[in-house]
Amino acid sequence: MDDLTGKIDKTRLPRHIAIIMDGNGRWAKEKGHDRLYGHYQGVESVRNIVESAAEIGVEYLTLYAFSTENWDRPEYEVVGLMELLVDTIRKEVPVLNKNNIRMHVIGNIEMLPQRAQQSLQEALDETSVNNGLNLVLALSYSSRWELVNAVKNIAQDVKDGKMDPSTITQDTLQQYLTTSEFPDPELMIRTSGEYRISNFLLYQLAYAELYFTNTRWPDFRKENLYEAILDYQGRERRFGKISEQIQQEAEIH
């Protein structure tokens, strides 16, 4: 593992990594356990990955923890996940503070049970002065929900005379997203062998490098994260240009 850390170019780290933490249920079932057991084990991976991202110097880590569509799962699983959320956040705040990690939340938080909203708010307040890793939890989040909200708010501001439609740019739209404070992710990782975005950061991932691994989330650890970063560093990001232009730009810098 030390080898992997040594191979990573610290000057070319993705500033922002986004992860779809998938495969908890299948991981548990394969071991003859209940799906919830997979979610509990998944928390261990969250701990490990948050710590590993902070250690190597990633600035933003967004974790997709619960989607708008996940509300449609069996009630017992939703309730179990909400309890796990409250417990985990309560327990982890001191660890976040010790590691100078600031927590943020994106998503339709009003949908969450009161207790969860409360512990989230406490965690946001108690970590607000930290200036190390920014940990962004996507909870009750979906990109289409976010985009619809943005459109509603823009329309309202136009109606109220605060904005002229002809002045709307990509930056304006960006400012109305829940991620307005964060740069776009350069790297998006999805675990457990599914090759889809599942309503996650559709606008923000426009030019992200996508990395898919068969590893189930409860098995995903530091070395898997660093492997993904190494893979990312081996790619050429062209943003629509041609390779020679990118190489020339690299020489100038």
Contact residues for Mg ion, defined by CB under 5 A: 22
Q: Is 241 helix (H, G, I), strand (E, B) or coil?
A: coil
Burial of 235 (0-12, 13-18, 19+ CB in 10 A): exposed
Rounded least distance, CB 201 to ligand IPE, Å: 11
Residue 21 interacts with, from ligand IPE, Mg ion, none (CB under 5-8 Å by kind): ligand IPE
d(CA 213, CA 35): 20
CB of 172 or CB of 212, closer to ligand IPE:
212
CB of 22 or CB of 146, closer to Mg ion:
22
Catalytic option among 70, 97, 99, 149: 70
d(CA 61, CA 14): 10
Residue 26 interacts with, from ligand IPE, Mg ion, none (CB under 5-8 Å by kind): ligand IPE
CB of 77 or CB of 157, closer to ligand IPE:
77
Whether 2 is catalytic is: no
d(CA 209, CA 237): 8
d(CA 87, CA 119): 9
Applying CB under 6 A, the residues found at the interface with ligand IPE are 20-26, 64-67, 70, 81, 192, 194, 196, 198
Residue nearest to ligand IPE (CB): 25
Whether 130 is catalytic is: no
Length of the chain in terms of residues written: 253
Contacts of 40 (CB under 8 A, 6+ apart): 84
CB of 119 or CB of 143, closer to ligand IPE:
143
Q: Which residues are catalytic?
A: 22, 70
